[in-house]
Amino acid sequence: MASQGYKAWSVVTASTVAFTVCFMIWMMFAVIGIPIKKMLDLNETQFGILVATPVLTGSLIRLPLGMWTDKFGGRIVFFILMLSTIIPIYLISQATEYWHFLVTGLFVGVAGGSFTVGISYCARWFPKSRQGLAMGIFGAGNTGAAVTKLVAPSIVVAYGWAMVPQVYAVLMLVTAMLFWFFSFTEPSHKVGKSVTVGEQLAALKDPKVWRYSQYYSIVFGGYVALALWMTKYYVSEYGFDLKTAALMAAAFSIPGGVLRAIGGHFSDKYGAHSITWWVLWVSLACLFFLSYPQTEFTIHTVTGPTTYHLGLGPFAFTIIMFTLGIAFAIGKASVFKYISDDYPKNIGVISGVVGLAGGLGGFLMPIMFGALVDLTGIRSSAFMLMFGVVWVSLMWMYWTEVKPLDAKRHRKQKELDTLE
C-alpha cells in the first residue's frame, strides 16, 4: 500500500500535469484567435471578446467547483471536469461563424475552473507549513499558457488553425485517463455531508476575502489577460509574424507559471503579506514603463527643429514583461498563502471566490484592452489600465494591512519602552 507521502506527491504531480493541459486549452484562442480574427475580419473589441470568452465560464464556475471539491473530493471533480470539455474542444475546429466560436468557447472555458479544484485538492495533502510550496508547484501549471504559445503556432503554420483544437481534444482525453490512475482519494479531506451550502458561503461576509480577490484579480487576472493579449500585441506593435510573436510572448508566460512554486516557498518563509506587498510595487514599476506609448516630439533648437523618438523597443519591452511575469508568479502563490493561513477548513470555497475574481479580471481586461485601443488608438493603453488597478490594490493594502501593522508595532515598542 502506498505511503501517505507518496500519495501526496503523486497527487501534486498528476494535478500539476492536468492543470498545465487545462491551461493550454484555456489559452488556446491567444494563438488561434489571430488567424480567426483575420478570417472573420474582427475589430479589436471583437477579438478581445473572442479570446476572453473561455475565461468567463472558467471564472464563474470556480465557486461551485470549490464547493463540490470540499464536498465530494478533488479527484472525482477534476476528472469529470476534464471529460466534460473534450467534445466542445473538438467542435471549435468545426466552427465557421463568430457566434460558433463564442458558444464553443464558453463550454471549453470550464477547463479554467480546474485551478480551484486542484489548489484545494493538493493543499489538503500537506501540513500548513508546506501548503504554500504545494500550491505553488500546482500553480506552475500556468505555464500551459507558454506551452500553447510554443506548440500551437507550429501546428497552425503546418496544418491550419483547425488542427489545434483537434490535437488538444485528444490530449485532454489522454490526460484525464492518466490523472485518474495516478491520483488518490482521502475521505478525511471532505468537509462532510453535514456542512450546508450556507455554512460554506458564510466566509463571504469576511472583508478579507474581497481584499484577497482584488489582489488576485491583478496577479492572476492580469496574467491571464496579458497571456491572451501579448501575441496579438507583438504582431500589431512590432510587426512580428505569428510564430515569432508567440515565442516573444512566452517570455512573459513562462516565469508566470514556473516560478509560482518559488513564490509559495517565499510565502511560507516570509509570510503572505510581505511578499504580496513587494509584488504589487514591482508590478506598478513595470507597468509604469510599459504604459508609455511610442512617442515622437520636436524641440525647436537654435539650429532648427530636432525630432526625438521615445518608446520601448521589442527587446526592452520583453525584458520588462519578463520581470512582470516573475512578479505575477510570486504574487499568485502569496495570495493563496493568505487563504491557506486564514481559511484552513474552507480552502475550496474561498479559493473558488478568489479564483472567480481573478478569472473575471482575466475575462474583462482583454475586452477592455480592445475597447481602449479602438477608442484611443493607443496600444499601450492596456498597460495604463492595469497600472491604475495595481495602484488601487496598493492603496487598499496600505490602509487595511500596512498601516494597522505599523500601529501595532508602534504600540508594542511603546510598551517595551515603558517597561524599561
The predicted pLDDT at position 88 comes to 95
Give the architecture (CATH level 2) of 4-189+209-298+307-414. Answer: Up-down Bundle (1.20)
The predicted pLDDT at position 193 comes to 52
The helix (H) or strand (E) run that includes residue 193 is: none
pLDDT for 237-253, tens place per residue? 898 988 899 888 888 88
Specify the higher pLDDT residue, 284 or 70. Answer: 284
The predicted pLDDT at position 254 comes to 81
Specify the higher pLDDT residue, 195 or 171. Answer: 171
Which stretch of 29-43, 260-274, 406-420 has the lowest confidence by average pLDDT? 406-420
Q: Sorting pLDDT into bands at 50, 70 and 90, what band is 383? A: very high
The predicted pLDDT at position 316 comes to 93
Q: Sorting pLDDT into bands at 50, 70 and 90, what band is 178? A: very high
Q: Classify residue 186 as exposed, middle or buried by CB count within 10 Å of its CB (0-12, 13-18, 19+).
A: middle
Buried b (16+ CB within 10 A) or exposed e, 388-419: ebbeebbeebeeebeeeeeeeeeeeeeeeeee
Nearest to 172 by CA among 62, 17, 392, 282: 17
SS3 of residue 403 by DSSP: helix
pLDDT for 128-163, tens place per residue? 777 777 877 887 787 888 889 889 999 998 999 999
- The domains of the chain are located at 4-189+209-298+307-414
Task: Please give the mean pLDDT across all residues of the chain.
Answer: 86
Nearest to 282 by CA among 229, 219, 339: 219
Is residue 290 over pLDDT 90?
A: yes
pLDDT for 2-42, tens place per residue? 677 788 889 999 999 999 999 899 889 989 999 999 999 99
Angle between the 29-40 and 163-182 helix axes, to the nearest 10 degrees?
A: 160
Percentage of the chain with pLDDT > 70? 91
Q: What is the DSSP code (8-state) at residue 111?
A: G
Is residue 324 over pLDDT 70?
A: yes
Beta partners for 308?
297
The predicted pLDDT at position 234 comes to 93
